[in-house]
Structure 1
Amino acid sequence: MGGLEVKLKGLSIARWCRLTSPTYLLDVALQPAGLLAVSCSDFTVRLHSRDTLDLVGEYQGHRGPLCGVVFSHASPDFLYSASADGTVRGWDVRRPGTAAAQVFKGDPAHAYSGFDLSCSDTLLCAGTEQVDREDSYLVFWDVRKPGGGLLGAYSESHSDDITQVRFHPREKDRLASGSLDGLVNVFDLSRGTEEDALLATCNSDSSAGSICWAGAAYTQLLCLSANERLHLWDLGRLDTEEPLNVFGAADGRDLPQLAGGGAVDYLVGAQWLEEAQKLLVVGGANDGDVHLMECSGGGLHLLKTLERGHASIVRCFLWDAAKEALVTGGEDALLLLWKQQEAELMAGKRQSRKSESASRFKSRAHNNYSYHRGNK
């Protein structure tokens, strides 16, 4: 833990970018070649420089709330985004501002609320909101096939909005999905039928929100729930008599001991840090402070609180291991780059950002999910 803790404790704001419109920043993805992709609440996808955060491009085309962005692994000039408008779109980041190079559709009644791309770059999966108050679907496409490549859908495993879909980082046929029905399902897609493919069902005891593959061999799965419950399961125990649960907490906000009597008001998400072999969980305070925590079988341990950055709720983050930098985005329309160096923004600048934010944004209760459910 020492190496990671030292790196995180030295973080300060190196760069910042405020979008010109009052927009929430919902999700962020990294292209190692030098770009950040950010999905926004105004249905746009924006491209920023990884090093300077300068805006270098923007894509429009979605007509509903976005539920994420992800770069292709083998062809990083290709970016995917999904939306409640019922489409998954592929963009060529070498041509900012152009129309989508690919558009994937399923049933017209589907509104997508979570999606991901397999590590082999061949399979897209998007989860839907609840359809007809009864079923939710996991829809699959083969990105190599012309005409949309629709393969089919799973329809029996969830009964409410699917909040997140996550492919395994190394096993192309392993998929996890979480839903408002409280279930986190794990599938082996090579087994064919939905019934045969379902390997495990874990109960989060609440509406499942963010899920994250973790562990040295990515056999662990972390789930953060809507009411800030936290569960860490070890799927490597599936063929044993051992319980899957490694750690669980009815309210993750109560676990870390914060200096000065502060509090974790909400949990943003998690990321497995391969180089450090640590599971990083990020939480926040309603005033914009960011809490960086390590999660293990022993619980949550506070590593660092980042202050004087955001002025409102943080909605997304990523750790850039190559640059040893943290990127955060929030409801204040701010994209921040934190690095181990002297802060480039003085306290007065932070105050001016906060004042501007207060005049353009209204504070509200945190929502774990990166989409807003529309009227049925």
Structure 2
Amino acid sequence: MNDGVPPQIPITYEPRLIQPPLALKQASAFSHGDIYIYDLAANSSNLIVSASNHEIKLYNPATLAIKNILKFHEANITQIKAHGDHILMSSSEDGDLVMQKMSELATKTERRKPAPSKHPLLSFDINSSEHLLAAGTELIREDANIHFFDSRGDTSTILKTYAESHSDDITNVKFHPTNPARLMTGSVDGLICQFDLSDMDEDEGLLVVSNTGTSINKIGYFGPSAEYIYCLSHIETLSLWNSDDADAVQQFGDIRGVSNPALGLTLDYAISCQYEPESGRLYLISGSNE
């Protein structure tokens, strides 16, 4: 760095990245009426969809035929995740985190892990050793919590709760892809917190706090050793951070500012980011209102 100013990162545009243009192959209506799709997940044998009627449906990915309809939750489903081919997980504003074996879906015998006081759950993740689950809650009065569960247990016992690190809704919970004791969380309070969970002490384990200055929509690790973090905000800004300190690598500002109609490039909102290890590139996936 020169005088503390990070070097500019080269940006390239590819407004027509997908060639040839996409065409509709198959379609399936989730339900009739005013039902909204909330989240999508997939593994080798299922396309998994959650919706505003509190249902989760499993589809055959080749035919879009419905394989199963699951009713685990009594409120809005905030996240679903397919962990390999064998485990389905979901969180909800009803305060339940459900972890279900795919082989037992027909019996509807799920394992529920309810949060204390039924705080609405907004996000969750499982670590790389598959032993620890973490879930972030909505702000209720003065509490925005991170709850930890043993994913191998059959009880709903919470191992630990962190209650001091965030002061607003915890929108993201992400474990490091290879280090099972490294966790980061993002919140509407604008903070990205990173923890070492070796001894599960919140004060001792809080390693780094990065203040993005705006409500966080999505965060994720990237880089050859997952040594960097990307952050997308609710006001469509993109920033990149070092994961070992609170320094910003680059602040791109509002992504809508790079729209170039002459090139056919219109960015109205960010969807996600995707890291490509082979090239070292971080791709921003965005959408337009058109």
Q: TM-score range by the shorter chain?
A: 0.7 to 0.9
User: 2:78 matched to 1:70?
Assistant: no
Select the structure that is richer in helix: 1
Identify which range, 94-103 or 145-154, moves more after superposition: 94-103
Q: Distance in 2 between matches of 1:102 and 1:71?
A: 15
| Equivalent residues in 2 for 1:1-376, closer than 5 Å | 8-10=18-20, 12-13=22-23, 14-21=25-32, 22-31=34-43, 33-73=44-84, 76-96=85-105, 98-132=107-141, 134-236=142-244, 238=245, 244-259=247-262, 263-274=266-277, 277-287=280-290
Larger relative contact order, structure 1 or 2 (CA cutoff 8 Å, min sep 6): 1
Q: Structure 1 pair 279/170, CA: closer, same or farther in 2 (3 Å)?
A: same
Deviations 1:167-202 (A, max 9, x none): 111111111111111111111111431011111111
Give the drift of 1:258: 4.5
Q: Distance in 2 between matches of 1:5 and 1:273?
A: 18
For the 8 Å contact 2:111–2:154, the answer to whether it is kept is: no
Q: Distance in 2 between matches of 1:260 and 1:97?
A: 51
For the 8 Å contact 1:60–1:97, the answer to whether it is kept is: no
Q: Structure 1 pair 7/260, CA: closer, same or farther in 2 (3 Å)?
A: closer
Give the TM-score taking structure 2 as reference length. Answer: 0.86
Deviations 1:314-362 (A, max 9, x none): xxxxxxxxxxxxxxxxxxxxxxxxxxxxxxxxxxxxxxxxxxxxxxxxx
Identify which range, 10-19 or 177-186, moves more after superposition: 10-19
Q: Structure 1 pair 284/6, CA: closer, same or farther in 2 (3 Å)?
A: closer
Identify which range, 35-44 or 18-27, moves more after superposition: 18-27
For the 8 Å contact 1:214–1:272, the answer to whether it is kept is: yes
Give the drift of 1:253: 1.6
Give the drift of 1:259: 4.6
Q: Distance in 1 between matches of 2:67 and 2:278?
A: 29
Give the drift of 1:97: 5.4
Determine what percentage of the aligned residue pairs are the same residue: 30
Q: Which runs of 5+ in 2 are unaligned?
A: 1-10
For the 8 Å contact 2:133–2:148, the answer to whether it is kept is: yes
Q: How many pairs does the alignment contain?
A: 277
Give the drift of 1:227: 0.7
Deviations 1:71-123 (A, max 9, x none): 224xx311000001010012233354542421001212411111111122111
What stretches of structure 1 move > 6 A for 4+ residues in a row? 4-7
Give the drift of 1:274: 4.3
Q: Distance in 1 between matches of 2:89 and 2:260?
A: 38
Deviations 1:238-285 (A, max 9, x none): 3xxxx7322212211212435566632211222324455432322212
For the 8 Å contact 2:259–2:265, the answer to whether it is kept is: no
Q: Distance in 1 between matches of 2:157 and 2:56?
A: 23
Give the drift of 1:6: 9.0
The amino acid of 1:84's aligned partner reads E
Q: Structure 1 pair 11/118, CA: closer, same or farther in 2 (3 Å)?
A: farther
For the 8 Å contact 1:69–1:81, the answer to whether it is kept is: yes
Secondary structure, counterpart of 1:217 in structure 2: coil
Identify which range, 257-266 or 105-114, moves more after superposition: 257-266
For the 8 Å contact 1:61–1:100, the answer to whether it is kept is: no
Q: Structure 1 pair 191/136, CA: closer, same or farther in 2 (3 Å)?
A: same
For the 8 Å contact 1:90–1:101, the answer to whether it is kept is: yes
The amino acid of 1:127's aligned partner reads G
Secondary structure, counterpart of 1:254 in structure 2: helix
Q: Distance in 1 between matches of 2:39 and 2:262?
A: 29
Give the drift of 1:125: 0.9
For the 8 Å contact 1:58–1:96, the answer to whether it is kept is: no
Q: Which runs of 5+ in 1 are unaligned?
A: 288-376
The amino acid of 1:270's aligned partner reads C
